[in-house]
Amino acid sequence: MRIAYQVFYLPIFFSFFFFLSFFFFLSIVSQNCGSKRFPDWIENPYKEFKSSEFIVGVGVGYDKDGADNSARADIIKQIQVKIKETFEEKSVLEKYQGTEKSGEYATRKMEGKIEGILEGVIIKERFLDKKSGIWYSLAVLDVGKFSREKIKKISQIEGDILLNIRKTEEYMANSEKIDTSKIIENLSKIDIGIQNMRKEISTLELFGKSYSSIVERKFSELIDELSNISIKISGGNRYFSSPLTIISLDAEVKFQEKPVAWMPLEAQIKGVFGETKIKIITNENGKSRISEKVFAIPGENPIIIKTSTPYIRASKMERLKFDSATVFVESKYDLLKNEISRCLNSANLKIEQKEDNAKLKVIADISKNPVYQGKDFKGNPIYISEIAIKISIISKDGIASENQFYGKGIGQNIDESEKKALEQAIKSMCQPTAIDYKSIKN
């Protein structure tokens, strides 16, 4: 009976073992088949690409565009990591050499060029997981190809720059007179080209590549040559018996004895109430006249005439001399009279208490303009005021000049806003001392 019992259960044992083995086999096959649903590049994007020659990114999204953008962003992220590592190493080296710079600034500067790399990125493959509806994209940047294309582009830009430099040099050498507007137009084109070239080179440098160009040195040499422009001052007086007067001078601009036409110039002279700036422009023969009323600081007071245009830097100084004078100050505001008297004293002008004894008369007035009344974002009251100080200077020989100084102030009441506005207006006229602003209320 025992033998029959064992024989009866033996087939059942083997059947159960076979069932377990078959189930295990099915589970392995199912797992293997499931993993094959996804391409290898999703888990191992560098499997078919050398990391020294390519930068590869994988992106995920709910549509093709989302996955593509995600893959491109993955490439950008990898480049950012490389930049950070590069500058960290460079920072350590600079610190060791005692030439430490701002690595953070340099990193930001380089990262600003990263977007230019995206033009070299291609979407190599896409995959849609039909079960989840998720898209996967494989983006690839061929570093070698990208670098070669960048170098080609840089070379083309460099050629255009050199051509413009040569044209400018030929124009300056062969023209009987120099047209400033034409020169500035050419120089502007060259400068824009250099900026574009720098941008392309900095992108190239992200991959450890370099490009040596001579155009910046050539451009600098051209600018240096243009700095040989001469400004000649002639005519008029160099001595004036009053600080309030009319100066009249002739200016002539030349380059290698050739007249420079339409050149903007600016004459600067120190005035009692701030620097006086006179803007003029040469005619077709390179000549211009400076004629302006000034209230100049007494004593030896240089007038500086300089070019006021980009790229071309030239200047000429002439020494003028102005006598001092007695001044009578008139204003209904004692505060303003005191501040103006202080300004005049600091300019070595004597304040006269009687108008008949004064050579010059200064009349000052204040105008107030409430600009805004309301509340700030916290609900607090807010006031904004504007104040203008008008100063008229009159001489006994009939010369008159006028200056205006403006200030804007903000406060929680009208008095505070006017106080700050007046302070700003006086500061633009001359540096104020500690004063009582309550008097402007009347």
Fold type of domain 230-322: Immunoglobulin-like (2.60.40)
Four-way CATH pick for 326-441: 1.10.10.10, 3.30.160.150, 3.40.50.720, 3.40.50.2000: 3.30.160.150
User: Digits of tens for pLDDT over the chain (442 positions)?
Assistant: 444 444 444 344 334 433 433 343 334 434 444 445 789 999 999 989 998 889 999 999 999 999 999 999 999 888 888 777 666 655 554 554 555 454 444 455 555 556 667 778 999 999 999 999 999 999 999 999 989 999 999 999 999 999 999 999 999 999 999 999 999 999 999 999 999 999 888 888 877 788 889 999 999 999 999 988 999 999 989 999 999 999 999 999 999 999 999 999 999 999 999 889 999 999 999 999 999 999 999 999 999 999 999 899 999 999 999 999 999 999 999 989 999 999 999 999 999 999 999 999 999 999 988 788 888 788 888 999 999 999 999 999 889 999 999 999 999 998 899 999 999 998 888 754 444 444 444 4
**For residue 317, what pLDDT is reported?**
95
Sequence-separated (6 or more) residues with CB below 8 Å from residue 139: 56, 57, 58, 59, 68, 71, 72, 74, 75, 121, 122, 123, 124
Q: Cα–Cα distance between 123 and 58 in angstroms, integer?
A: 10
Enter the DSSP assignment of 386: E
Does the domain at 51-226 match CATH 3.30.1490.190? Answer given as no
SS3 letters across 138-201:
EEEEEHHHHHHHHHHHHHHHHHHHHHHHHHHHHHHHHCCCEEHHHHHHHHHHHHHHHHHHHHHH
Q: Cα–Cα distance between 416 and 153 in angstroms, integer?
A: 60
State the DSSP H helix or E strand holding residue 329, giving kind and residue range, or none if neither: strand 326-330
Q: Locate the domains of the chain by residue range.
A: 1-36, 51-226, 230-322, 326-441
**For residue 424, what pLDDT is reported?**
92
Going by C-alpha positions, the residue among 281, 289, 298 that lies closest to residue 248 is 289
**For residue 372, what pLDDT is reported?**
83
**For residue 114, what pLDDT is reported?**
65
Q: Cα–Cα distance between 288 and 290 in angstroms, integer?
A: 7
Enter the DSSP assignment of 297: P
Length of the chain in terms of residues written: 442
Going by C-alpha positions, the residue among 238, 329, 340, 255 that lies closest to residue 290 is 238
State the DSSP H helix or E strand holding residue 240, giving kind and residue range, or none if neither: strand 239-240
Distance of alpha carbon 214 from the chain centroid? 25
> What crossing angle do the helices spanning 414-429 and 334-346 adopt, rounded to 10°?
20
